[in-house]
Amino acid sequence: MPLENRLTLFFGTTISIVLLAVLYQITGPRIIPLFWFLTPSTMAWRCSGRTNAELISNLFNAGLITSPRVRDAMTSVDRAHYCPSSPLAAYEDSPQPIGFSATISAPHMHASACESLLNFMPESKGARVLDVGSGSGYLTHVIANLVCGADGKGEGKVVGIDHIQGLVDMSRDNMRRSEEGRSLLDTGRVELVKGDGRKGYPEGGPYDAIHVGAAAVELHQSLIDQLKCPGRLFIPVEDNDGWGSQWIWVVDKDKDGKVSKKRDMGVRYVPLTDAPKR
C-alpha cells in the first residue's frame, strides 16, 4: 500500500478510536451501533477518484480489492454509465442516487461483494449468478465480466432482478451504452427482469452465487433454496437491535447441501421492499 494511503488509514483510525471513546464515556455502549461507519473498514470513501480507472486503482492499492480479476472487471465497466446523478459523482466511493428512491451502492461495497463471491464465479465455466436489487445494472455488468470473461463471450449467465420497472428499463439502456454491454444483452448472457427479488428467480436457477443489493429483514429461505451445491449468498440483513443496524451475512451451501451462515460486517443499505404504491 502506498505511504500516503497508510498514513491516511493510520490517522483516520486514530481519530475514529478517540471519537468513539469520547462518545462511549458520554452515552455508553448504545452509541456504538450508530457510529459503525467511523470504523477503518468503512472509511473507503477516501478511495474516490477523478476517473473510473483511478477509482478502481485506489480501491486496489488500499487493499479493498485484492483480486486482479475483480480489479479488471470493475475497471472495464465505466461506473458513470450507471450513475445518472453526475459523471464526477460516479467516481466517488459513496452511494449515489439513481432515481425511484434507489441508490447505486458505494464502489467498495461492490468490490467486497465480488471478492466474497469470486470463488463461486469461475470465468467461462458456465457459472450462473443472480443479482437481486440490480438497480442501474452496474454490478450485474461487472459480474457478467467475471463469469463470461473480459470479451463477454465466455460461458456464464447473470440475471439481474429489480421490483421497479423504471430501473429495469434504465439498466438495459445503461448496458447498451457500451459495445460489450449490448453484446451481453443480445446474446442472453445477461437477463434483466422485473420481479420480487426476495423470492429469487427460480426460472434462471439454480445459482452458483446470489448477490443482494438491498437490506432484507431476514435471510430469505427462497434465496438459499435457489443456491447450487456448492453455492454462496451475499446479503445485507437488518438487525433486530432496535437501532437500525445492518450486517452482511454470507450463507454457504456445500456440495452435500449443508448450509452455514456467517455474519460478516456492518453496512448501510436501502431496504429490500415492495415496489412503491401509486
Active site residues: 105
Place of cell 437481486: 132
Please name the amino acid found at residue 218: E
Identify whether the C-beta of residue 98 lies closer than 8 Å to the C-beta of residue 85. yes
Cα separations in angstroms, 145 against 61, 72, 229: 21, 9, 23
* Torsions phi, psi for 100 (to 5 deg): 60, 30
How far is residue 33's CA from residue 238's CA, in Å, rounded to a whole number?
A: 12
Please name the amino acid found at residue 125: K
Of 248, 247, 243, the closest CA to residue 31 belongs to 243
Please name the amino acid found at residue 235: I
Identify whether the C-beta of residue 93 lies closer than 8 Å to the C-beta of residue 45. yes
How far is residue 99's CA from residue 148's CA, in Å, rounded to a whole number?
A: 29
* Run of H or E residues at 131: strand 128-132
Of 200, 102, 96, 183, the closest CA to residue 141 belongs to 183
Please name the amino acid found at residue 6: R
